Amino acid sequence: MAFKVVHALALPGVDHGERLLEGLNATLVMGLWVREDEIIEHAREADAVIGVVSDNQFTRRVLEALHKCRIVAGIGIGFDTTDVEAATELGIVVTNVPDYCLDEVSGTAVALMLALGRKLFQADRGVRKTQNLYTRNRGALMETLYPVFRMRSQTVGIIGLGKIGTATALKARGLGLRVIAYDPYVLGAVMESRGVEPVDFDQLLKESDFISIHTPLNEETREIVGYEEFRKMKRTCYFINTARGGCVDQGALVRALGEGLIAGAGIDVTIDEPISKGNPLLKMDNVILTGHSAYYSTTSDAENFLKPMTQVVKALMGQWPEYAVNPEVRKRWMKKWGSVPPE
């Protein structure tokens, strides 16, 4: 059987895993197509499509036009703007790359905790301004940094104890911090096995010195943290978001920072990306912004572009892709495309 594979986000100088198709009698068509009509035009006859599943590319209209497609292999972790329900109805498996940046994002979350908790950016600005924050000049020191707390006496609250949330928890525990977590889909015994104390949402909000959110964006988690949640936090609490901008009510975050309901924030993701020039967060000295870069390292970037092709190869060979985000289509998919009986 001859296959057609369409890569809709082919970038120069990137290893997209083209060599993995060798021996599969597959034709690879590569381009940079992001609009619905472009994808339909180039992928209408495709057996597999690779693209960004968090960028409004794969709507019901697009998926219905891909009448031969057995897999949409996504680049990146998020898939909140892909119509997964439509894909499931149409018998298309959708995959992402859920493990390519675990170390990078969890490391950024912990780095933000340290930078905020130790007020490193304020110290840097203070030194540049006064050339001296040494303890003999306690006035400048206190004015710039007070209050700073010993990290080992602090509590980290993690919302969403999935892969990245767990990696963040383990790193925070390695620094000696107490770690608590809220995740209704993870058993308390599993949390405890990772050295994490399970708590309800209100307890997490009230007890945490740092709150780090690590949930996917869906109807259940959209604006899971809003103004009422910020009101329940300690005024010395730092809020960190390396998940999705939509998980937080951004207006409420700005208001909470302006009213002093929380001490500061480390924000990697915002509603407006790239962040708009008029965004109030840009003017706040107690906010660190990293511009949706938490995922990035040379290693993770390479994996992000290579791994979708591994899922395509499995699908073309009739094997169930391990990164499927719609497992409910598995039996029907395996009956239609599979080379082995479904489990």
Q: Do 42 and 135 belong to one domain?
A: no
Q: Each residue of 166-188: b (16+ CB within 10 Å) or e?
A: bbbbebbeeeebbbbbbbeebee
Give me the catalytic one of 7, 42, 178, 244. Answer: 244
**35 included as an active-site residue:** no
Q: How confident is the model at residue 128 (pLDDT cuts 50, 70, 90)?
A: confident
- Are both 194 and 95 inside the same structural domain? no
Q: Is the pLDDT of residue 341 over 50?
A: no
113 shares its domain with 204:
yes
The average pLDDT across 233-253 equals 98
For residue 135, the model assigns a pLDDT of: 60
Same domain for 106 and 95: no
What's the structural domain count of the chain?
2
| Pair 212, 113: CB distance under 8 Å | yes
> Nearest 5 degrees, angle CA 72-CA 74-CA 78?
130
The answer to the question of residue 274 being in a domain is yes
The whole-chain average pLDDT of the chain stands at 94
CATH number of the domain where residue 93 is located: 3.40.50.720
Q: Do 109 and 255 fall within a single domain?
A: yes
Catalytic residue among 118, 255, 292, 332: 292
**Are residues 325 and 312 both part of a single domain?**
yes
Task: Measure the N-to-C terminal CA separation of the chain; round to a whole number of Å.
Answer: 25
Residue 138 is a catalytic residue: no
The tens digit of pLDDT for each residue in 252-272 reads 999 999 999 999 999 999 999
Task: Mark whether 132 and 17 lie in a shared domain.
Answer: no
Range of the domain at 234: 102-289
Beta strands in the chain (DSSP E): 3-7, 26-30, 48-52, 71-75, 93-95, 155-159, 178-182, 197-198, 210-213, 238-241, 264-267, 287-289
pLDDT digits 0-9 by tens, 293-304? 999 999 999 999
Confirm whether 343 is domain-assigned: no
Residue 256 lies in a domain: yes
Rounded-to-5 percentages of helix, strand, coil across the chain: 40, 15, 45
Residues 83 and 171 in one domain: no
pLDDT for 342 beyond 50: no
223 flagged as catalytic: no
Give 58-77 pLDDT, tens digit per residue: 999 999 999 999 999 999 99
* Active-site residue identified among 143, 259, 273, 322: 273
Same domain, 55 and 147: no
Same domain as 231, residue 112: yes
User: Is residue 175 in a domain?
Assistant: yes
